Each structure stands twice: as C-alpha cells, then as structure tokens.
Amino acid sequence: MSRHSTPTYGLGKLTLRDRDAGMPVTTRARSGQTRNLRVSQATTSRSSAGPSSMQPAARPASSRVTPSSTRLPPSRRQVASAPGGDSSDDDSDGSDGNGGGGREAAGRDNDRLATIYQMMCPFNEDGLSPPGFAASNNRPDLAPGTQLAHRVVGALYALLRDDDGLNTLRTWIQVPGPQWSTQLATNMYRRFQTVTDGLRRNAAGQGGQDVVRTIDALRGLYVNIDDIRIRYFGNGMDAVHQRSFTTLLVRIMEYIVQNNEDLYRGTNRPAYAGEGNRNERRLFSCFLADESQPGEFLRVLRNSNEHLAHEIERLRSFRTMVLGYAENGVEGGVEQARLARLAGAFTQLVQSVQSRA
C-alpha cells in the first residue's frame, strides 16, 4: 500500500492546513501523528526534489536552510545569479552578506561606472581628461555642458545594470575609437584656448587668470595629455589622433617660449609679488622659475619623443629663441643660467627625437 493511500494521509494534510491557519492542536495523539508525518514528508521531499523544493511548513528542525536565507540582500542575489556564482553558499545563515560577494558586486559597479565616465569624458565642456572628468562631479564651477555630461553618466549607470548593456554601449562609443579620440583632442585644444583667452583678458584688466596661474594651468594640461598618451597611445589609438595630442604639446611650448614681453606694460603691477622668483609680468620668464616646474614640461616632451618627428623643426626653433634670450640677458644673472640649461635641454630633446625617428 502506498504512502498516499494510508488512512492517516488525509488526516495529516488536514492537520498541516489547520496548523497553518492558526488552529490549535487539541490532542497528544494528533500531535504525535503530525510530528511523525512532517518528518516523513520532509525526508521524502528532500530525496525527490532537492533542497530548493522544500516548503517552510514541512522543513524539519535539523535543516540548515533558514527562512532568512531565502531573503538575500541585493548584492548577494547578484553574486548568486552571476555566471559562475555559487548559489549553494546562499543557503547558509546569510551572515556573510557584506563579505566577499558584496565586495565583488561593489567592484563590478565601480568598474562599470568608471567605464561610462571614460566613454562620456570627451563630451564635457571644460576640456577635462578622463580621470579629471570622473573626479569633478562635485565641483561647483563646472560649465553647463560638463554638468549635463555628469547627469548623462548617472542616467546610463542607472540603466546599464549588467555587462550586456555596457557592451552594447561600447559598440556605439568605442574607446579610443576615431570619433571618441577626435572629440577628446578637441576638448584639449579648447582647454588651451580657454587658458590663453584668460591671460589676454587679465592683461587687459578684464578678469581671467594672471601669468602665474596661466603657467600652472598649462602644466596641468601637459600632465593630462601625458596621461592620455600613457592610457591610449599603445591601446588602440591610431597614429593620426596620437599626432593631434603631441602637436598640441609643441604648440603650448611654442606659446610659452614666444611670449616673453611685458604683458602689463604701463601698469604698476610688480614683476615679483608673493610668488617667490616667479615673474608675474612675462610668461616665459615665469616659466623659467623653479617654482613653475619647467622640468615637468620637458619630462612630458621627452616621454613623447617617438611621436614628435613631425615637429622637429619647431623644437629646433625653441632652442634658437632661448639662446637669443640668453644673449640679451644680464651677464651672469640667475635667469641667464636658467636659459642656458633650457637651451641644453631642447638640444637633448631634438637629439632624442631624431634617434627615434
């Protein structure tokens, strides 16, 4: 006779339903029958369907699956459903919800956000590099276009919750594809133009930034372009777009070297005022000061020497201009010594570019 045809089978089902409905157990005999039947049903259910088919009402006290383990935190559910995720670990007491699984999910979220920031970087209006754009979210001085780009990043991050969606976006915005690279280079050139416009306005008494701040801003732009070289030149960016960035480096240096006139002629602005040895009237003289870190500019140029063959003549002209300034300077002065060192540095740069051509 099968288990389902025994006289007690229907009684057992009635008893379980009555218990779930809140009805009290009135006799010891019925209570004993119910306990025996629940153990029998739980054993049969485990052998036929596995742990996932067990219902709470039929689970024996010795089962290691607890009701709390069926309500996973979102991060645990992500890990359990991810390819390669081990959902059997989630049948424990759930005490490690903030452990390795949570950290892995958070790491994936951070990677996805960083990728979206990288894709959207060229569309910021302030000419920020990828790391600079990602770090600028809370800056109050961002241009409206950059603020909009940040909002787009937030919207995409909310929509693209898995790798499939992110990979679809990658097919539209390829990093460092031609369109992405063109837009990023345009941003860097726009940033250079903004800096030079700011100095021109300042010299005319119309705001902007002064000589010292201009040198600092141009050094920051140099460092950002060097970061682009490190990240993308050897990682898929084509030679045409590589050249656009290295050409900008040379153009910035040309702007600095050529601008050694007194920008504030006819004003009472002092040559030095609170900035150590940094000349506050002449851009190139300010660049020469140790505080302006001219070696940082030269380091970036040396790092790019294999990409500067097309600019060899302009690099030679820098050395010629610097030597001309030295001839007209005060014999034995501090600035003349700096000019001599800079001329030597340009000579070495030209030689290194020629050796890599």
| Mean pLDDT computed over 150-173 | 93
pLDDT band of 104, cuts 50, 70, 90? confident
Confidence check: pLDDT of 335 > 90: no
* pLDDT tens-digit map of 184-234: 999 999 999 999 999 999 999 999 999 999 999 999 999 999 999 999 999
| Cis ω before 7 (30° cut-off from 0) | no
Q: What is the mean pLDDT of the chain?
A: 78
Average the pLDDT over each of 72-86, 98-112, 189-203, 214-228 and give the range with the smallest value.
72-86
pLDDT band of 293, cuts 50, 70, 90? very high
Q: pTM for the whole thing?
A: 0.69
Confidence check: pLDDT of 116 > 80: yes
Which token pair is 27?
């006799």
pLDDT band of 45, cuts 50, 70, 90? very low
309: how many CB neighbours lie within 10 A of its CB?
Answer: 14
Three-point CA angle 198, 132, 152, nearest 5°: 100
Q: According to the model, what pLDDT value does residue 50 have?
A: 42
Distance CA 238, CA 235 (A): 9
